[in-house]
DNA sequence: TGCACGATAATCT
DNA sequence: GATTATCGTGCAA
């Protein structure tokens, strides 16, 4: 496995979301390497009312406006962090939410509970498992940092598409992508197969 | 398996 | 003061 270069990332947010399914997410923490195979993502587009960047740039969503491949981390519901990859061109304001991951390396280092298939099943759990903190916000997945995206460790299966989960605006758009049948995918059963 | 519900805090209006 | 890209628990079937 090697690091993905920015030039390899599709510029279009929906294409990037689809591209990232099957790729590897790596956190080289002081305690050791944690990595996982991305199995579920969602795209948030320019002009999309559900996108945090929809109402313009603020201090919180600044990272969404960086060139594609940067890290956007935010805190929600008083309890959970979400990990996103910025998308589109610099200044656009779009991103891809990483929703679920199949653990590969460093399972013992990951925070959370439950079976290995459940520890990173859902965006809040994924961020908790990978020990994502606000300090990563604004960082670069394509730079030399400890948090990065790698090539696929094994071929990706069939990719399914569905509506996004947990949103109220533009809820009908099919911008969620996942590996069909993978037990680590979150959401109701009808949105996993 | 599939719902309903509350916790909890940063951000923005 | 409203809103929120979630999670875990609890209960019914």
Q: For strand C, give the nucleotides within 7 A of a protein CB.
A: 4-8
Q: For strand B, give the nucleotides within 7 A of a protein CB.
A: 1-3, 7-13
Calpha distance A123→A154 (Å, rounded):
22
Residue A110, token pair as written in the block: 């990951």
Give, in Å, how far the C1' of C4 lies from the CA of A30. 32
Residue A64 backbone dihedrals phi, psi, to 5 degrees: -65, -20
pLDDT recorded at residue A29: 97
Helix (H) or strand (E) holding A90: none
Do residues A160 and A193 make contact, with C-beta atoms less than 8 angstroms apart?
A: yes
Fold of A6-191: 3-methyladenine DNA Glycosylase; Chain A (3.10.300)
Q: Give tens-digit pLDDT for A85-138.
A: 999 999 999 999 999 999 999 999 999 989 999 999 999 999 999 999 999 999
- Which residues contact residue A15 at a Cβ distance below 8 angstroms, ignoring those fewer than 6 apart? none
pLDDT recorded at residue A137: 98
pTM, rounded to two decimals: 0.97
- Kindly list the domain boundaries of chain A, sorted by start residue: 6-191
Which nucleotide C1' is nearest A48 CA? C5
pLDDT recorded at residue A99: 98
Nearest residue to B9, CA vs C1'?
Answer: A78
Q: Give tens-digit pLDDT for A4-58.
A: 999 999 999 999 999 999 999 999 999 999 999 999 999 999 999 999 999 999 9
Would strands A32-44 and A176-179 be described as parallel, antiparallel, or unpaired? antiparallel
**Burial of A116 (C-beta count, 10 Å sphere; 0-12/13-18/19+):** middle
pLDDT recorded at residue A124: 97
């Amino acid at each position: 496995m090697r690091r993905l270069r920015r030039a390899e990332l599709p510029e279009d947010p929906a294409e990037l979301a689809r591209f990232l399914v099957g790729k590897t997410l790596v956190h080289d923490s002081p305690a050791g390497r944690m990595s996982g195979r991305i199995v579920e993502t969602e795209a948030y587009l320019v002009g999309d009312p559900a996108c945090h960047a929809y109402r313009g740039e603020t201090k919180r969503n600044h990272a969404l406006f960086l060139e594609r491949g940067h890290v956007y981390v935010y805190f929600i519901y008083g309890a959970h962090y979400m990990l996103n990859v910025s998308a589109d061109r610099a200044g656009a304001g779009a991103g891809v939410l990483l929703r679920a991951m199949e653990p590969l390396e460093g399972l013992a280092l990951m925070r959370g509970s439950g079976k290995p298939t459940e520890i990173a099943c859902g965006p809040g759990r994924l961020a908790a498992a990978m020990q994502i903190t606000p300090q990563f916000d604004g960082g670069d997945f394509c730079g030399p940092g400890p948090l990065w995206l790698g090539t696929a460790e094994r071929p990706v299966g069939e990719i399914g598409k569905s509506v996004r989960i947990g949103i109220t605006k533009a809820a009908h758009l099919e911008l969620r992508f996942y590996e069909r049948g993978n037990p680590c995918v979150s959401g109701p059963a009808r949105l996993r197969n």
